A and B are shown apart, each in its own frame.
Chain A
C-alpha cells in the first residue's frame, strides 16, 4: 500500500519535473512519459538531453546524492537515456555524447566522456575544454554499481556488470563483470555463487561426498 502511494507521488513529481525542465530549457530537455522521480534531478548546461519512457530517478541508496545530468562546453553535447533506465544518484557529465541504452541500472557512479581540461601550461588547464571528448556508451541492461567511474571512450556492453569502486577506461564485454582500476574482467564469468561460498561448501566435511569416514 505504502509503496503504491510512494509510486503515485513519484509519478506526480516526475510529471512536474518533466514539464518544468522542458519549459525551462526551451525544449532541449525531453523526457518521455511514465517518468518517476523519487528524488530531485539536477540539470546543468545548454546541451540536449533526451530521456526515454518509464525512466526511474532516485537518490543514491544512502540518500546522499541526487541525480545530476551535466552537459558542458557547447550546445552540441548530448545525453541520451533509453527506456526503463534506473538512475540512483548518478552523475553524468557530457562534453560530446553519452548514450545509456534501455533497462540499464546505474547507482551513484560518475560517467564522464571527457577530461574537461587540457594538459599543458596552467593557463590552458584552467579553462574548460571538451576537445578530448570521446563518446561513452552503456549497453542494454548493464548494471553499474556505486562509486564506479566510467571515463571517456568507455563502452559497457549489454548486460555487463561494473562492481563498486571500479574505474572503466575502455571496454566492458557483454554479460561479464568488470572490477578494479583499470577495470578488468573478473575471473568468475559464469553466473553462479561467488567463489568463497563454493569453497566453503567443499571444505565442509558433511557436504563433501568424496571424503570417506575412516
Chain B
C-alpha cells in the first residue's frame, strides 16, 4: 500500500506537507491546553516533532513559537512545583530543548535554541536542591547546540552562547560566551 510507505519513509515527505502538519499539530496541542489554566499557548504555534509539557507549574508560550524536530531529544518542559513558572517569548524557535523548572525560567522573544538544556535546579528532585534559582534570557538570544543554562544564568539581549557551553552567571548583551563554565569572549562584535 503506497500510503504506508509514505508514512514510514521520512525522505518521501516533501517539505510542504511536513510544514502543514507542523501547524496542524500545533493547533491540536493548543486546543488541548485551551481549558488548562496552567498552560497558555499563543497563536501560530507550530510543533514539528515530539513535544510534551509535564508537571503542575505554569507554562506560558508566546505567539508564533516553533518547536522543531531534533534527532537527539524530544522537546520537553517539566515543572517540579506548583509555583514554578516557565515563560517562552514570542517567535522563539526551539529544537530538542529540555527545560527543568523548579522556580522560574524566562526565555525572551525570538530565542533560537537547539538541543540545549535549561534548568534552574540542579536535580529533578527539589528535595536534593534546596535553593532553585532562576534563568532569564533576553531578546534574540542564540543558544548553541547542546549548551546548558544553569540557575543564576542571565543572558542579555542578542547574546550568543556557543555550542556545548555551560552558563551559570550573567552574560552581557551582544556578547559571545563559550566554555564550561562559560566566559565571555571579547571583541567579537565590537
Q: Is the CB of B122 within 8 A of A62?
A: no
Q: Tell me which residues across on chain A come within 8 A of B78, comparing CB atoms.
A: 61-62
Q: Is the CB of A164 within 8 A of B131?
A: no
Size class of the contact patch on chain B: 20 to 34
The listed residue (B76, B123, B166) touching A63 by CB distance below 8 A is: B76
Q: Is the CB of A164 within 8 A of B52?
A: no
* B18–chain A nearest beta-carbon distance, Å: 22
Q: Is the CB of B128 within 8 A of A143?
A: yes
Q: Tell me which residues across on chain B come within 8 A of A105, comparing CB atoms.
A: 123, 125, 128
Q: Tell me which residues across on chain B come within 8 A of A107, comparing CB atoms.
A: 123-124
* A71–chain B nearest beta-carbon distance, Å: 25
* B4–chain A nearest beta-carbon distance, Å: 27
Contact with A along B41-60 (1 / 0, CB 8 A): 00000000000100000000
Q: Is the CB of B180 within 8 A of A62?
A: no
Q: Is the CB of B76 within 8 A of A146?
A: no
Contact with A along B122-152 (1 / 0, CB 8 A): 1111001001010000000000001010111
Select from chain B the residue with minimum beta-carbon distance to A61: B124
* B52–chain A nearest beta-carbon distance, Å: 7
A residues 58-94 near B (Cβ < 8 Å) are: 61-64, 88
Given A62-B78, A147-B117, A163-B122: A194 in contact with B148 (beta carbons within 8 A): no
Q: Is the CB of B117 within 8 A of A164?
A: yes
Query: Dominant SS at the B interface?
Result: loop
Given A61-B78, A62-B76, A63-B74: A166 in contact with B180 (beta carbons within 8 A): yes
Q: How many residues of A contact B (CB 8 A)?
A: 24
* B41–chain A nearest beta-carbon distance, Å: 19
Q: Tell me which residues across on chain B come within 8 A of A181, comparing CB atoms.
A: 166, 179-180
Q: Is the CB of B148 within 8 A of A179?
A: no
Count of CB-CB pairs between chains A and B under 8 Å: 71
Q: Is the CB of A196 within 8 A of B152?
A: yes
Q: Is the CB of A146 within 8 A of B181?
A: no
A residues 117-165 near B (Cβ < 8 Å) are: 143, 145-147, 161, 163-165
CA distance A161 to B130 in the complex (A): 13
CA distance A163 to B148 in the complex (A): 11
Given A147-B117, A193-B131: A180 in contact with B181 (beta carbons within 8 A): yes
Given A107-B124, A194-B152: A64 in contact with B74 (beta carbons within 8 A): yes
Q: Is the CB of A64 within 8 A of B133?
A: no
Contact with A along B93-125 (1 / 0, CB 8 A): 000001010000000000000000101001111
Residue B73 at the A interface, CB < 8 A? Answer: yes
CA distance A170 to B100 in the complex (A): 28
Q: Is the CB of A146 within 8 A of B119?
A: yes
Given A61-B124, A166-B180, A180-B181: A194 in contact with B150 (beta carbons within 8 A): no
Q: Is the CB of A165 within 8 A of B151?
A: no
What are 26 sample pairs from A and B whose C-beta atoms fall under 8 A apart?
Answer: A62-B73, A62-B74, A62-B78, A63-B76, A64-B73, A64-B74, A64-B98, A105-B125, A107-B123, A143-B122, A145-B122, A146-B124, A147-B117, A147-B148, A163-B150, A163-B168, A164-B122, A164-B166, A165-B150, A167-B180, A179-B181, A180-B181, A181-B166, A194-B151, A197-B131, A197-B133
Q: Write the residues of chain B forming the contact surface with A, with a CB cutoff of 8 angstroms.
A: 52, 73-74, 76, 78, 98, 100, 117, 119, 122-125, 128, 131, 133, 146, 148, 150-152, 166, 168, 179-181
Q: Write the residues of chain A forming the contact surface with B, with a CB cutoff of 8 angstroms.
A: 61-64, 88, 105, 107, 143, 145-147, 161, 163-167, 179-181, 193-194, 196-197
Besides A62-B76, A64-B74, A181-B180, 13 other A-B contacts (C-beta < 8 A) = A62-B74, A62-B98, A64-B76, A146-B100, A146-B119, A147-B146, A163-B122, A164-B148, A165-B166, A165-B180, A181-B166, A194-B151, A196-B152
